[in-house]
Amino acid sequence: MSSLPSFDTENEPKIARSVEKFFKDYKVMELLRRCGLRKSKGIPLWSILSYIFSNVFPDRSMYMQQKSGKCTAGFSKNTYYRFMQNPHINWLQLASLHYSAS
């Protein structure tokens, strides 16, 4: 698998496509469903997860995006933080699925 390009506004579509390809190649959504991740309310699970995975690049935290006025998320910070702190998501099981799926 090739490495992802560095982040800037020109490379943002490439990063989004790379994240999408990774999710499809490794069946990430299927694994996440097995760990209890479900869509809640109106925001698609895919939308939140792709945003979270894209934030691993420099200056891509939601806080810094909102502070600079460049936040492109299609949901509020409350939705983001509720998702990350959802007690029904078994993050430990997700981390251990890699080994059991191999």
Give the separation between CA 74 and CA 76, rounded to whole angstroms.
Answer: 7
pLDDT (0 to 100) of residue 83? 84
pLDDT at 98: 55
Q: Where are the alpha helices (DSSP H) in the chain?
A: 12-25, 28-34, 45-54, 62-68, 77-84, 91-101
- 0.85 cut: is pTM over it? no
What does the pLDDT look like over 15-42, one tens digit per residue? 778 878 888 898 888 887 777 777 767 7
Here the tokens at position 88 are 């029904």
What stretches in the chain show pLDDT beneath 70?
Answer: 1-10, 40, 57-60, 94-95, 97-102
Residue whose entry in the numeric block shows the structure tokens 């509020």: 76
Q: Which phi-psi region, left, alpha or beta, contains residue 36 (left: φ > 0; alpha: ψ -120 to 50)? A: left
Query: Rounded to an integer, what distance in angstroms lies between the CA atom of residue 31 and that of residue 4?
Result: 22
